[in-house]
Amino acid sequence: MFKQAFQQYKKKNPPPDLQDVIDVDLYEENKITSHSWHNLVKPVHISESAFIQSEARLRQAVGLQPEHLWRCYQLSNHPGLLLIRNPFTLSGQRYWIARGLRDYSQPPYVSNLDATKFSPAALSNWWQELQNCSNNGDVKLASRLKVAMRWTTLGYHHNWDTKVYDEAMHSTFPSDLASLCEAFCVTLGYTNFVPQAAIVNYYPIGTCLSGHTDHSELNHSAPLFSYSFGQSAIFLIGGTTLNEKPSAIYLRSGDVLVMSEASRLCYHAVPRVMTTDQEPWNIVESKANTSKENDDVGNMDTNLNNALDSKLFEKVKDELFWQPFNEFIRESRINMNVRQVLPMGMHQIPT
Ligand SMILES: O=C(O)CCC(=O)C(=O)O
Ligand SMILES: [Fe+2]
């Protein structure tokens, strides 16, 4: 059942019927509809906790909107799965796209780039090398480099062959991505989550990710946070075996998916990455909003100021600086998939 659905949505010719793909934007537009999935979507109300002020400051520090602008949904046939639409500010989206392309793509993080196919310069700074090639008119190498980057791993590096994490294969987890997870944890009420490993997936339009479960972590009870940016995807979520029929969901730029409880170990896949009908990262924020955002970030507690790279956060608002990122993301999707590896109280992987 799962593989059939995967093939159906992956198909290029003829393109698939998207009628059954759950679209929470369409859900909001048509309260009464004939879509097969309409009754499965359950809006979730996020209530502010007692720590209102610190929560709001933390959200703002990592490029998130006030929580009343988030739209949060559950699917009644996939308990534990949460879809959050619209949590990021527009420059917040730019920041995370730029981090994913410029910084999370280079050492100490581990990438899929093949050392036999690319120069040491490309291996040590893929994004810079891509910019150099584009600027020097080396179109061929630029386009090879562009599609070659498919994943990097941060923190505990996922070993794709053994599927076992190893204490020796570990880099520092980026503190800004950890703060982003913390902001979601406080707002959604997850206590004790420690981000320890992330996979950053880079998907040129037309690529896919086949069905799998994420079970390598020693901790399966902690939620998994999945942040999507750039072009849109169809995401399939099924059951714990391949025999169950999956649901298909649209994931758009800025969407956050939380896989917790029963859905944490369920089969999932990305059969299709396709051109988006919206480019939220390019909607120019009104002067009033932008300067308020700047001021607020400037006034933040010192410890929150460090939550993200504040220089980059400022730079991405500059169109000239943003341009190469914009060109890349026009043809790609980036997904950052964050997990806790160790059970609570365990501080390293047992040998
Ligand atoms: O790209 C996505 O939305 C999912 C990625 C994923 O499942 C993974 O990295 O394990
Ligand atoms: Fe996964």
Q: Is the dihedral of CA 89, 91, 96, 100 positive or negative?
A: positive
Give the residue from 24, 32, 35, 28 showing the smallest Cα distance to 74: 24
Give the residue-averaged pLDDT of 20-27. 94
Predicted pLDDT at 51: 56
Residue 301 annotated in ligand binding? no
The interface pTM score, or ipTM, of the predicted complex is 0.99
Question: pTM score, two decimals?
Answer: 0.94
Q: 86: which DSSP letter?
A: S
| Residue environment code for 196-214, b if the CB has 16+ CB neighbours within 10 A, otherwise e | bbbbbbbbbbebebebeeb
Give the residue from 144, 151, 74 showing the smallest Cα distance to 112: 151
**Which pair of tokens denotes residue 302?**
């010192």
Predicted pLDDT at 65: 92
* Cα 83 to ligand 1 centre (Å): 14
Predicted pLDDT at 288: 47
* Cα 178 to ligand 1 centre (Å): 18
pLDDT in tens, 71-80: 999 999 999 9
Indicate the helix (H) or strand (E) that contains 293: helix 287-298
Give the residue from 178, 154, 147, 186 showing the smallest Cα distance to 56: 186
Is the C-beta atom of 78 inside 6 A of ligand 1?
no
Residue 157 annotated in ligand binding? no
Q: List domains and CATH numbers for the chain.
A: 2-112+149-339 (2.60.120.590)
pLDDT in tens, 186-214: 889 899 999 999 999 999 999 999 999 99
pLDDT in tens, 122-173: 999 999 999 999 999 999 999 999 999 999 999 999 888 888 898 889 999 9
> Following DSSP, what letter does each residue of 311-334 receive, concatenated?
HHHHHTTSHHHHHHHHHHHTTEEE
**Which pair of tokens denotes residue 104?**
């999370």
> Following DSSP, what letter does each residue of 8-20 receive, concatenated?
HHH--SSPPP-TT
Q: Say which residue, 31 or 342, is predicted with more confidence.
A: 342
Mention every residue, 6+ apart, whose C-beta is less than 8 A from residue 11: none
Ligand nearest to the CA of 197: 1
